[in-house]
Amino acid sequence: MFIPLKDLNPSRTYPFVNITLILANIAVFIYTIGLEATLPHRAFESLLLPYSTVPARIPAFLAGHTGFEVAFLPLVTSMFLHSGLLHIAGNMLFLWIFGDNVEDFFGHFTYLFFYLACGIGAGLLHIIFNFHSSIPAVGASGAISGVMGAYMLLYPRARVLTLVFIFPLPVPAVVFLGLWYVMQFLAGLSTIGMKVTGGVAVWAHVGGFLLGMLLTGMVRGSSSPKRAF
């Protein structure tokens, strides 16, 4: 068991976009919990389904059977939906730990576009590997994986205080995040050729992480990014 507790890498600016993203995810989760408590289960699922990423909608769009908005808008809305308390708690913990420094690097508004771009890119890779699946996918983990990829590239030597079984140990970010990525990649390889019936969208994690590194490398290599607005 490896659980990050915090990073030992203070940011220079107040991460209000990162905090706003966390609060938005929590607010949507509380709202959906309220709906789930008041609606029949099938009605609740039917209400959330249009906002969830369903890979099969893309071939349906290409065949002219559904509209662009129905097929692609959920790539954004699904980022703010979570399937349960542990799902959102884990995602928000990782975003809280790694997001502030990445926002510090990009600047506030650029960070927001970066976050959304990683989430959309992660969702597209998930669709590619599950092209005809009708199973809905939700969660911010693709976007957060992009944040983690950026963090590893920018701050590889930063220490992440990690609960290793029962011992809190400072682990270099490149080790913690590198191991996390390898685990996701291997899990993704194990699903190739298999019919996915649910579970974690590991290819979204892989795609988000790589896209985060790519975009960060492009920004860092082209010019010095803005630090504020």
CATH number where 123 lies: 1.20.1540.10
Domains in the chain, number: 1
Q: Has residue 6 been placed in a domain?
A: yes
Distance of alpha carbon 28 from alpha carbon 7, whole angstroms: 27
Q: How confident is the model at residue 229 (pLDDT cuts 50, 70, 90)?
A: very low
Is a pLDDT exceeding 80 seen at residue 194? no
Q: How confident is the model over 106-125, as a mean pLDDT?
A: 96
Pair 127, 58: CB distance under 8 Å:
yes
Q: How confident is the model at residue 228 (pLDDT cuts 50, 70, 90)?
A: very low
Q: Domain residues for 150?
A: 2-222
Q: How confident is the model at residue 190 (pLDDT cuts 50, 70, 90)?
A: confident
Joined together, the tokens standing for residue 182 give 């390898």
Tell if the pTM clears 0.85, that is, is over it.
yes
Q: How confident is the model over 184-192, as a mean pLDDT?
A: 86
Helix (H, G, I), strand (E, B) or coil at 68: helix
Pair 137, 201: CB distance under 8 Å:
yes
> What pLDDT is stored for residue 124 in this prediction?
95
